[in-house]
Structure 1
């Protein structure tokens, strides 16, 4: 019975983590470019009483083994990089990626991060930056006398300067992709950093070589489905309850055993 107590406890711990993941997804249902997470579970150690194929008491081969599992654990919490819904904003510096790719961002310490959140702003020097002030890479500076900003599907950034009738190209937005985006490390602020499991980052122009194209005046919303997360929450809650019920039942059986003494 003691084994059942500990086994059920591992199930409750796993479902606690599952609920934490679901709560984080729901908390970011309105975060632009947010990618939901999914908890993956696996069984843990087995206590082997008898091995299949071993000799039985009468000299015959044992057809099956006797193994008792010792519970479950969280094997991984994986980011799911499906595309979120697009929302039209009309803001010149809101950019959505239609397809594969990430915007490249330069952090304050000089390191490189990546994001799908295209809610860009303009800082005091005219640079295109994130909501936290981190500049887009390669750096693009909008002149002070620019009256209109146009961002093409293939990344070309053009401005209409005061007193001029023809636009001037001031830079090109590039995208980066990875062979295994699920291996990216989340650092908050809708930013990801490279890890050894992501593969070598590949940079290219939007709309070319498999990269997604850009849509100015749109934002990619979160890919969290409230209905799906609510169903997962109910399933996780029931799994937690049944594991707690197993602990209660094992405790009652131990009590019965004690009463026999």
Structure 2
């Protein structure tokens, strides 16, 4: 296989990956809290083919040798954590973040048989995710004696709150109470009676992630950090309290959701460009194949 065919093949493969990323963005144009994915390209290999001294003619400004490459490949697929527009829903269980922060969600880990993993003490093992999707709902859990209500994700995973000491807990919402969340993420239960003060339930777990490029998408507009020890995690993630949220300028908007950050016009433009690049690679591959057939027939 000659250089032209390798170059064309590599370029076509990269264009296909680019198209896959663009297609995924377009498919999630209406997904709550979705962040746009983008790609970066890098040369596969470049080398200089030497030339004889006879090519060094009078008036030549460039050094001897011709640069030969093997196309470009997708070196990285990354997420652009730009702010999406906020859409009012009027639903008291919908929340949108404005600013550089994430909702912290804990989901159970499962084994290959679909059972929840347990640690050595018999406690359930949870995985921490970071999300901009605040489309929560009210989850009802019943047992033989009681009925308890909790905030939960759309998948049914409970939303843990931090109490006044910053301790994570699963807070029960009193029956017939409405949920009220201020812009600092403090959660209150509003009694149905007038002139009765709200009941403080806790603080939404909102985090600032200093190295967002480490976040990997895991679906449902959620992201996970790679495995690391507790010290490294503490350096990257800050679970913010009320004062830190105020100082950072982050705001929580109840009754709103954050729309996808995908710019459909830009994605369509990128798609056309990637398609043209793929077509150019296909034509180059066909031309190289025709030249090889021609050379083979002449030689034969």
Q: C-alpha separation between the residues in 2 aligned to 1:201 and 1:143? A: 28
Provide the residue aligned with 2:287 in structure 1: 249
TM value normalised by structure 2: 0.78
Match of 2:134 among 84, 109, 118: 118
> How many equivalent pairs are there?
256
Partner deviation per Cα, 1:181-218 (whole Å, 9 max, x = no partner):
12201111221111369961112136323251101000
Alignment of 1:84-123 (within 5 A): 84-109=84-109, 110-123=126-139
Q: Return closer, same or farther for 1:70/1:161 CA change in 2, 3 Å cut-off.
A: same
Say whether the 8 Å CA contact 2:95–2:254 is kept in structure 1: yes
TM value normalised by structure 1: 0.89
**Structure 2 unmatched ranges of 5 or more:** 56-61, 110-125, 141-147, 162-168
Partner deviation per Cα, 1:143-192 (whole Å, 9 max, x = no partner):
24233211000111111224462211111113111122122011112211
Q: C-alpha separation between the residues in 2 aligned to 1:171 and 1:179? A: 24
Q: C-alpha separation between the residues in 2 aligned to 1:163 and 1:88? A: 27
Provide the residue aligned with 1:201 in structure 2: 237
TM-aligned CA deviation for residue 243 of structure 1: 0.6
Provide the residue aligned with 1:128 in structure 2: 151
Q: Return closer, same or farther for 1:112/1:211 CA change in 2, 3 Å cut-off.
A: farther
- SS of 1:14's partner is helix
* RMSD value, Cα: 2.5
Q: C-alpha separation between the residues in 1 aligned to 2:16 and 2:261? A: 23
Q: Return closer, same or farther for 1:167/1:42 CA change in 2, 3 Å cut-off.
A: same
Match of 1:188 among 219, 222, 226: 219
TM-aligned CA deviation for residue 70 of structure 1: 1.0
Alignment of 1:1-261 (within 5 A): 2-50=2-50, 63-109=63-109, 110-124=126-140, 125-138=148-161, 139-163=169-193, 165-195=196-226, 200-205=236-241, 207-210=245-248, 212-261=250-299
Runs of 4+ off more than 4 Å: 55-58, 196-199
Farther-moved stretch of structure 1 (108-117 vs 202-211): 202-211
TM-aligned CA deviation for residue 57 of structure 1: 8.2
Q: C-alpha separation between the residues in 2 aligned to 1:170 and 1:161? A: 12
